[in-house]
Amino acid sequence: MSACRLPANGRLVLLLAATFLALTPLGWAAGESGNLTFDRDAALADSRAAIGRLIGDYTFVDAEGRPVRLSSYRGRPLIVSFVYTSCSAICPLITESLSRAAKAGLQAMGPDSFSLVTIGFDVTSDSPDRMRAFAHAHGIDLANWRFLSGSHATVQALAQDLGYDFRPAVQGFDHIAQVSIIGPDGRVYRQVYGDSFDPPILIEPIKDLVFGRFRNDLLSLDGLVRQVRLVCTVYDPATGRYRFNYSIFIGGFVGVLCLGAVAIVLVRGLLQSRRGPLKS
């Protein structure tokens, strides 16, 4: 059987086509994953499986070219989001929604209560300059929010830790709309989904971490104050902000007084019944 031979110009065309495919996102996806299909159900399952996972201590570069180690954020909650700067739809929506929620949360809990990082996953394009321009274009001006660039290996490693799935597509990337909340211990505490969300979806888990919903230190003054702040810091949808609702505290205090008064009446009645009827 004779082999099929292409003419010289045919082989050149084939070589150029193969080179073009290898350099495009489509070719990158085939080489990296072997699968061009973005499976949303599988991506969601990977994301949920990451809850409780300890993230690695990776080093990135911020928009000013300075190195940033993720371990520097240990001790307070950290919000992590991914974008690619050439995105014109989902990534801007997620970033702007995250900005509104973060401003509401920081105003309620304090400017140093938690931090945010946004990481560019299109490593061939998302340079520090591009990340800085992306932040500026979407009005991000919070001091504790940094936009980071990293190597392919570093971005892939963190994405795997967080259960974040993204794959090159014909027009940009397919990716899950996910924001990850990292606890002070460096473990994934909660995943928030959607390209637009109301502040409580993001801030209520942060409140748990900042004020210590699950801490058993109510006997200390500091613990009691944190629990009061946790319960009384509420979201007002009319203003889009969190506020300290004194009425909850006052109502609880009045309720305790009422219960105390009822208890006194019951105890006095019980004591009187034991003494017998009063003699005239």
Task: Give residue 15's pLDDT.
Answer: 42
pLDDT digits (tens, 9 = 90+) for 265-277: 676 767 766 665 5
How far is residue 270's CA from residue 15's CA, in Å, rounded to a whole number?
98
Decide which of 245 and 30 is more confident.
245
**Integer angstrom CA distances of residue 208 from 102, 220, 270:** 15, 18, 43
pLDDT digits (tens, 9 = 90+) for 96-111: 999 999 999 898 888 9
Task: Give residue 235's pLDDT.
Answer: 52
HSE (CB half, 13 Å, CA atoms) of 267? 6
Most confident range (mean pLDDT) of 3-12, 120-129, 247-256 is: 120-129
pLDDT digits (tens, 9 = 90+) for 178-235: 999 999 999 999 999 998 888 889 999 998 898 875 555 444 445 444 445 545 555 5
How far is residue 36's CA from residue 167's CA, in Å, rounded to a whole number?
8
Q: Which of 22-26, 150-154, 197-201 bottoms out in mean pLDDT, i.e. has the lowest?
A: 22-26
Task: Give residue 196's pLDDT.
Answer: 87
Of 70, 24, 55, nearest in space to 159 by CA: 55
Tell me the sheet residues that pair with 242. 235
Task: Give residue 28's pLDDT.
Answer: 37
Packing angle, helices 8-23 and 25-33, rounded to 10: 80
How far is residue 29's CA from residue 57's CA, in Å, rounded to a whole number?
26
Backbone Cα Rg of the chain? 28
Decide which of 234 and 238 is more confident.
238
Task: Give residue 197's pLDDT.
Answer: 86
Contact 96, 57 (CB under 8 A): no
